[in-house]
Structure 1
Amino acid sequence: MLSLFEIAASLLVLSALLSWINRAYLKLPHTIGLLVMALFASFVLMALQIFVPSVGLTDTIQSAIKQIDFNETLMKGMLGFLLFAGALHVDLGKLRDAKWAIGTMATFGVILSTFIVGTGFFYLTKLFGADLPYIWALVFGALISPTDPVAVLSILKTVKMPKSLETKIAGESLFNDGVGVVVFTLILAIAAGGSGTGHAMLDTVLLAVPLEAVVQSGAGHGGGVSVLDVVELFLVDAVGGAILGLIAGWIGFKMMARIDEHAIEILISLALVAGTYALAQRINILGHHLSGPIAVVVAGLMIGNKGAAFAMSDHTRQYLFGFWEMVDEILNSVLFLLIGLEILVLGLVPEYALVTLLAIPLVLIARLCAVYIPMKVIGTFKNFTKGAIPVLTWGGVRGGISVALALSLPENEYKPLILTATYGVVVFSIIVQGLTVKNVVQRVVDPNLL
């Protein structure tokens, strides 16, 4: 068995090697190239396992990957740093200008998509003879509906588009997980309570929400989840997380404003992310923890805007932003490599391949509805860039967070189907949508705006 250091070293070496191959030969966008090569390597290893089982290489690699808890690694390790790095570069002024579009897509849009995907997936599984209850189909809808901020921000680096559109896509991806995880948590609590597994819950999901509290509040005891439960969960997690991020960001800003030493200010930013994320998971209000991701996003917006303008010299700003750009690149490289290698240990079921293929257009149709309807409502009193709807639809990429949420589901007969469909949608989204979103932008957006 490999040690933690050996696993980390192997991932870094493999990330560096594949990044070099991609840059020198394939010339794909960095993270997409890593995912493609990791998937190719995984399929080669699986073929070796079938045709030359005596080699034993696949078993060794599978054993090492199994030691990595993907959900824990992403949700309690990488995510806070990746979100902070992304939020640093978002213009707060443009974010305010797009607040209605972002807010509507990140709330009503996510809920609408959840029910469209869930309902469609329920009938798809019935069509192919899979016995998936409607409530578990909604669980799939909830975990796949929010766009992934890590994947979205990574792909946005490779595409030139109008700033207003970029802000909407980035802003929505940073904030829609707050609503998405509340919906996911509540639906999963109802599903688990109804199937008798209410106490076999994960301790922490995207916003560090303990599902036992939700189950015990009603779903696990036959009482159902009330509107008050929903409001309470959202206020504590999302609003509480935002307040914590605002306070932590303000403290970090004040500390940076008192000095001008780039090394110390970078250290403060690191402490700000790690400390805020950890504190969010420790604070307990009414049985719920605060949202660590939302807290670090708010803190990142404050440091990237107010901090960069009033608390840093040009010299410090250059070093701090450069440091976080490197953190973002390194963690993204490891994350997308892991997504590709996870296929070796996920236990995907080939029999669900056709359902998974049909789930891809279903998710895209739901995304179109989640963008079109809110945009039409807001469009009656606010102008939008021409081509915004197709770009926002195709640019709504899913990623590792959906896979992590699927992995966090309790063990039951429905998990393999949900996990297989989730992984298929995520891989399609990152590779196909990620590689073609540039073409979509060039086709539908006024060239004078690019």
Structure 2
Amino acid sequence: MNLYFALTILICLSAGFAYLNQRFLKLPFVIGLFILSTILSLFVISSKLWLTLPVEEIKTYIETANIDKIILNILLGFLLFAGALHTNWNNLKQQIRPIATFALGGVILSTIIISALFFGLTQLFHLDISFIYCLIFGALISPTDPIAVLGILTKANVPQKTEYTIVGESLFNDGVGVVVFIALLDTLNTGTFSFSHFGFLFVQEAVGGIIMGLIFGYFLHLLLKSVDHYETEILLTLAFVMAGYGMFNYFHVSGALAMVVMGLMVGNFKQDIAMSDTTQEYVHKFWELVDVVLNAILFILIAFVLIVIDFKTEYIFVGLISVLIVLLSRIIIVYLPHLAFPKLLKLTNKEAKIISWGGLRGGLSLALVLSLPDSETKNILLIATYFCVLFSIIIQGLTIEKLAK
């Protein structure tokens, strides 16, 4: 199956599922597509019992499709830029303290809590998993997914102040989570852990990504300012995202954080000077469309992961309990600073409840776990991650609006 044919299938499924959702289900876009894609995956898995579908061939193709690389190397850059472009920096600035607290300290603390509890869980089920893998699981599942959050919260009527906090956290904490994940994966490959090496990687990836995002964002601003032709300006934004994201990742600085910073700059820094009203409208509409189409493809890819999972009874129990561990960790990292430093975060108890429940996981976590070396441990972590994502998108995503009300 060539790339064009695979893309055709994804677009056709996206269009068909989007229509069914809008016509009949009327669920939030990403939730509707994820549920329908999951149903299709379950149909493919169960078809071997009553149909003659080439299930093993489908499974083999999905396994060799490198879904993790598609998400991490292609989709993530576009989606983060598009999400940041439509985000008002002034709104984020008002909640900078809770955003910084949850995006930095929250991810690190969550990684420690989840890894400790997950290690205890695996020991309870007599599963031979080293603690470094538990730390890796904590790192990949701790960041709230910006794609899932942006796609769901905008339709959930969450109070604006709370929405800004959750969206801002999700835009930045994935970069922190990826940096921690890379450092732990490097430790797994080398067999040694060094705090100095970890700190160097963090500075290189996170700080380097932010700096490069500022530099490229300002350069793009100057180019947009020098012309008044919306077709050219749209092409410039597209070129900077595609070339910049690939280049940053190649030189081992966080392309994710760079795209967030660049998107915020294009959408907020002297926008009226850089672009005419007509250009602003076309640029925002173009990236809004890119966001919708790629979101559709992403959540279909996430659901297709179900087909390649090798389920075992004890693994299913581990996956179910992992959901509770992740929820508990989320509650701790939100309420601990909220209760310890109430004047710093300035959150009410009601806002803390929504922020706790609004920590959605999505494609980023699955892409990271899929990038691990093949092993039985990877399969266990994949099942635990999938259960957390499934619960997060469907249960938390469908109930966040009711909780907000």
Aligned partner letter, 1:24? R
Shift of 1:347: 3.1
Shift of 1:131: 2.2
Shift of 1:138: 1.9
Does 1:137 pair with 2:100?
no
Does 1:291 pair with 2:254?
yes
Cα RMSD of the aligned pairs, angstroms, is 1.6
Secondary structure of 2:376's partner? coil
- Which one of the candidate residues 401, 410, 418 is aligned to 2:381? 418
Distance, in Å, in 2 between the alignment partners of 1:428 and 1:238 is 29
| Residue range with higher mean Cα deviation, 334-343 or 62-71 | 62-71
| Alignment deviations for residues 128-150 of structure 1 (CA, whole Å, 9 cap, x no partner) | 22222223222211111111111
Q: Which residue does the alignment assign to 1:151?
A: 148
Q: Which residue does the alignment assign to 2:224?
A: 256
Distance, in Å, in 2 between the alignment partners of 1:61 and 1:280 is 34
Q: Is the 8 A contact 2:125 2:314 kept in 1?
A: no
Q: Which residue does the alignment assign to 1:103?
A: 100
Give the number of equivalent residue pairs. Answer: 405
TM-score in terms of structure 1 length: 0.86
| Alignment deviations for residues 22-59 of structure 1 (CA, whole Å, 9 cap, x no partner) | 1111111111111111111111121111333xx13434
Q: Which residue does the alignment assign to 1:271?
A: 239
Q: Is the 8 A contact 1:349 1:417 kept in 2?
A: no
Q: Is the 8 A contact 1:109 1:374 kept in 2?
A: no
Distance, in Å, in 1 between the alignment partners of 2:270 and 2:394 is 35
Q: Which residue does the alignment assign to 1:212?
A: none
Shift of 1:372: 1.3
| Alignment deviations for residues 378-400 of structure 1 (CA, whole Å, 9 cap, x no partner) | 42245335511111111110001
Distance, in Å, in 2 between the alignment partners of 1:299 and 1:348 is 41
**Aligned residues: percent identity?**
42
Shift of 1:370: 1.1
Q: Is the 8 A contact 2:30 2:299 kept in 1?
A: yes
Cα 1:229–1:261 change in 2 (3 A) is same
Cα 1:423–1:234 change in 2 (3 A) is same
Q: Is the 8 A contact 1:113 1:145 kept in 2?
A: yes
Aligned partner letter, 2:392? S
Distance, in Å, in 1 between the alignment partners of 2:11 and 2:385 is 26
Task: Structure 1: give runs of 5+ residues left out of the alignment.
Answer: 193-197, 199-214, 284-288, 443-450
Shift of 1:63: 4.2
Greater relative contact order: 1 or 2 (C-alpha under 8 angstroms, separation 6 or more)? 2
Distance, in Å, in 2 between the alignment partners of 1:186 and 1:22 is 40
Q: Which residue does the alignment assign to 1:123?
A: 120
Q: Which residue does the alignment assign to 1:170?
A: 167
TM-score in terms of structure 2 length: 0.96
Shift of 1:309: 3.1
Q: Is the 8 A contact 1:84 1:297 kept in 2?
A: yes
- The structure whose residues are more often helix, as a share, is 2
Distance, in Å, in 2 between the alignment partners of 1:410 and 1:63 is 17
Q: Which residue does the alignment assign to 2:309?
A: 346
Distance, in Å, in 2 between the alignment partners of 1:243 and 1:377 is 32
Q: Which residue does the alignment assign to 2:37?
A: 38
Cα 1:385–1:158 change in 2 (3 A) is same
Q: Which residue does the alignment assign to 2:326?
A: 363
Distance, in Å, in 2 between the alignment partners of 1:96 and 1:118 is 32
Q: Is the 8 A contact 1:356 1:425 kept in 2?
A: yes
Aligned partner letter, 1:434? G
Distance, in Å, in 2 between the alignment partners of 1:342 and 1:225 is 31
Cα 1:170–1:268 change in 2 (3 A) is same
| Residue range with higher mean Cα deviation, 362-371 or 307-316 | 307-316
Task: Structure 2: give runs of 5+ residues left out of the alignment.
Answer: none
Distance, in Å, in 2 between the alignment partners of 1:296 and 1:189 is 24
Q: Is the 8 A contact 2:44 2:53 kept in 1?
A: no
Shift of 1:3: 1.0
Q: Is the 8 A contact 2:183 2:201 kept in 1?
A: no
Q: Which residue does the alignment assign to 1:86?
A: 83
Shift of 1:409: 1.1
Shift of 1:180: 1.3
